[in-house]
Structure formats: structure tokens, C-alpha cells
Amino acid sequence: MTLIIGTDEAGYGPNLGPLVVAATAWRIPAGTAGAAAAELLAQALDEARAAAGIAGPLWADSKQIYKPGDGLAVLERGVLAALEASGRDPEPNASGPPTRITDATVLLDRLGATEPAATPPEWPAMLATPLPGAAAAAGIATTAAAVSAALARHHIQLLAVRCRVVHPAEFNRLLDAGLNKSDILSRTTLDLAATLWNAGREAAAEVWCDRHGGRKSYAGLVGRHFGAALVQTIGETPTLSAYLLPADRCRVEFAVGGEARLPVALASMTAKYIRELSVAAFNSHWSALQTNLRPTAGYPLDARRWREEADAAVRRAGIDEATLWRRA
């Protein structure tokens, strides 16, 4: 069998709220890789959509799935259905009962997200968020069943969906330790990918990452995080950086527009979903402490506006600036 891992992030640009990195791990038939692997996964997804009666996309780039103000229903359905389907045996008659996500605590546990060292003040409310909040539970269950059946027909298994949540305090601590913003994203991404790679070792593996901003060279990072004595650079172009770990038969690549491939798309959606739940809890927490405080998505220009408007509430709460505000 071949192991495919896809990664992506949400919240790289904002000053408020967390950076979220997510990854998905898939087991597909041996000898299937690259474009053929992407095509096989896309075919299974199309069958799942048809069986569930979904006219629009199920798993795609989060920017295609979710637009601010449109609500979280489609994004939520895709992520929670994936989690219900993940980890099941690919044989048609071997699937166990689905594990339902009832609140954000269960969700983050399923995603393997660790408790932050410095808990943001809104985090208890975030953890208590009941789920699903926008999508119908019955629709999620139907979609999960359709996904499981379609993957089984193609001998594909969605092994895991995982994420890492980097809150402002940790982000700032890493900056103080000498990393830059791009380093933090790349390190978090490759740590997560390597963890899934080690857990799902197969004869061959491919790791598909969305490109990290303007970074073009990743060979040293790949070698360090995957513990590889030799990393061969296949190519570093404006659209694709690709590397081979020959001893492990593992290819790692960073592609512009990587979300076009299913494993990266689902990672993109997962990261965005956790980021949106976090920002909703953030706004709810601070709006309860200050009347007429307008919500924010945390991006630089509006974050500065929010910071000025919320100044009195932040001072009353005695919140450390480093716990609230992510430096660039």
C-alpha cells in the first residue's frame, strides 16, 4: 500500500486568534502515486458526493467551501463527516459504528490537538461549543456513510485527520527563540506530517503540502523533521518544490495551489473549521466583556481596530499582551 499525507493551514496572516495546521493521512493501493493517486481519490469523492446527494463540493479548498458571512454548514459537514469516516477498516463489512462529535472538546481530541501551554481566555468557551452547530447531524452521518462506502470500493482508507493549534503565546515564544513566521509554519507542518508518516509507515509514501508563502527551499527542514540521512532535491521551481527520501521511498512536495488535491483540501477545510470556531469563541468572550465591541476575523488592519476598541476590556481583564496578540 501507499501512504498519502496532505497538509495545509489557516490563520497564517492574522494577529488575533491561532494559527492552525492540519493534516490528513490516507492508505491507497500499492503502485498508485502522484497524479494517478490524486485521480483515484477524486473519483472516490465524486462517488461519495453522488451517493449522499450533494450537488456542490464536499471536500475542496476551504476558500471555495467557506466565505465569511455564509455560515459554517458546508465546511462543518465536510470536516465532521471525514472524522466519522476516518480510521475505519476499508473492507465493506468491517466498519465499526461511527464516532459522533458532540462538542469542541471531543473534536480536538479526535484531531490530536494538545492543550496549549498558555490557555487563551476564550478557550474554555471554545471547548464547550456544542457540535454540530450549523450542519444537520443526520446529513453528516449520511455523508460519512457514503464516504466510507466509496473509499472501501476503491480500497482506500482515510487513516487520520489531525491538527495543531498554535496560540499567540506559543507563536510569540517561538519568535523570541529565533524563528520567523515562515519557520513556525514550516516546522509545525513538517512535525505533524512526520508524526503521521511514522504512525502509518508503508512501502512508499508521498507528502503533499501547500506552498508556504514565498519559501522555495525545504530540503534541510524535510531532512531534519523526517530524520533522513539523505534528501534528494527533485526540483525547486516557482510552483513546486519536491524532494525524495530514497532510503524511505518517500516523496515530499510543496505545491502552489496544492488544495486542488483531496488530501490537502480536507486538511485546508479542517484547519479553517478549527480557526473559525476559535475566532467565534474569541469574539463571544470579548463582546460579553465590552458592549458594542464589533467582532473581528483577526487580520492586521481590522485587528488594530479591534485592539483599540477593546483596550478597556483587555486592561480590566489583566490579559498579558503576548497571550492575546500574535506578533508578525
Residue owning grid cell 466510507: 148
**What tens digit of pLDDT does each residue of 70-109 get?**
789 999 999 999 999 996 554 444 445 556 899 999 999 9
Q: Which fold has domain 2-281?
A: Nucleotidyltransferase; domain 5 (3.30.420)
**What tens digit of pLDDT does each residue of 189-236 get?**
999 999 999 987 777 999 999 888 778 999 999 999 999 989 999 999
Extents of the domains making up the chain: 2-281
Mean pLDDT of the 288-315 span: 95
Q: Is 187:208 a contact under the CB 8 Å cutoff?
A: no
Residue 155 confidence (pLDDT): 95
Strands annotated E in 89-203:
157-166
- How far apart CA 24 and CA 131 sit, in angstroms, is 21
Mean pLDDT of the 56-70 span: 86
**What tens digit of pLDDT does each residue of 108-156 get?**
999 999 776 778 899 999 999 999 999 999 999 999 999 999 999 999 9
Give this prediction's pTM.
Answer: 0.94
Q: Is 298:11 a contact under the CB 8 Å cutoff?
A: yes
Cell (9 digits) for 29: 493501493
- How far apart CA 264 and CA 113 sit, in angstroms, is 18
Cell (9 digits) for 245: 527520501
- How far apart CA 221 and CA 228 sit, in angstroms, is 10
Residue 96 one-letter amino acid: G
